[in-house]
Structure 1
Amino acid sequence: MIKVKQLAHVCIFANDLDETRHFYRDVLGMDTQFNFLRDGNVFGFYLNCGGRSHVEVFRKDGTRFSEMDQINHFCLEVENIDAAIAHIKSKGVAVTARKLACDDTCQAWLSDPNGVKIELFEYTAKSAQFTGGDRVADW
């Protein structure tokens, strides 16, 4: 029997590594854990999401996000969603307003420079992730 400990990383493709690194570092505050090198050149990197979770990024020219992709988005838990939204807006990046979702979590949405959708999440005391119970979708 296998026991999963946690999600280790999500891998995304990027058209422009520098632009993508800038976005995740300066807009979302994620530090580079390490780079992937080939022939002395950086072709990818790992971003630290806190704890043992990461976003893995590789350069892939011509990549684009589609609503038909098998993975639709990834979600980052933040300490203060209102502060996160204000910071993201101050960097000139579009982000939705905070919404209380049907699972009683606060959420907001944005996209990275490659079109990858990112959900920001702040748990509440009533979040279904802690309390359980079915929830009726409101979308």
Structure 2
Amino acid sequence: MALKLKQLAHVCIFARDVEETRRFYEDVLGMKTVFNFTREGRLFGFYLDAGNRTFVEVFENGSAEYSGKNQINHMCLEVEDLAEAVAHIRAQGIEPTEPKKAVDETWQAWIDDPNGVKIELFQYTDASAQFAGGDRVADW
């Protein structure tokens, strides 16, 4: 059984100033905001459309180091069937997190590569905010 990888779903970056970062990606690179994440009633992050079902996810993190490392938090891979993907990964001797539905209405599980790079495995649903829109309240 092989993992049925569809594509890179998103890359997550940290930002000191989320509005300045949004302006850069929207104005300079021409991306559009799909939805926002809020926490305690204020903007905490957002999703940008990078085309072809691929996104850039941005979260505020003023404490991250910006010395050429730590800007990219994780990469996310879209899979056809998350349950199958988790079973395949377990068969390789790696224990992913239990799949769960996130606030953006996508199914996700997590693993680390041998270097500690976080990898999110994603399966979209019909209600996924990436396509349905609507702001989401961060629950983490």
The question of whether the paired residues in 1 share the 8 Å contact of 2:4 and 2:85 is answered with: no
| Aligned-partner SS, 1:76 | strand
Question: What is the aligned partner in structure 2 of residue 115 from structure 1?
Answer: 116
Question: What is the aligned partner in structure 1 of residue 125 from structure 2?
Answer: 124
Shift of 1:138: 1.1
Shift of 1:28: 5.2
Q: What is the distance in 1 between the residues matched to 2:106 and 2:78?
A: 10
Structure 1 gaps of 5+ residues are 1-25, 31-47, 53-66
Q: Which has the higher contact order (CA 8 A, sep 6+)?
A: 2
The question of whether the paired residues in 1 share the 8 Å contact of 2:4 and 2:79 is answered with: no
Letter in 1 for 2:109: A
- 1:83-122 aligned at under 5 Å gives the runs 83-122=84-123
Letter in 1 for 2:118: K
Q: What is the distance in 2 between the residues matched to 1:113 and 1:105?
A: 25
Shift of 1:49: 4.5
- 1:1-139 aligned at under 5 Å gives the runs 49=7, 68=65, 69-139=70-140
The question of whether the paired residues in 2 share the 8 Å contact of 1:27 and 1:88 is answered with: no
| Aligned-partner SS, 1:72 | strand
Shift of 1:116: 0.7
The question of whether the paired residues in 1 share the 8 Å contact of 2:106 and 2:122 is answered with: yes
Change (3 A) 1:29 1:130: closer
Superposed CA offset, 1:85-138 (max 9, x none): 011001101200101000000000001111110000000000000110001111
Structure 2 gaps of 5+ residues are 9-51, 53-63
Structure number with greater Rg is 1
Letter in 1 for 2:114: P
Change (3 A) 1:107 1:73: same
Relative to its length, the structure with more strand (as a share) is: 2
* Alignment size in residue pairs: 82
What is the TM-score normalised by the length of structure 2? Answer: 0.52
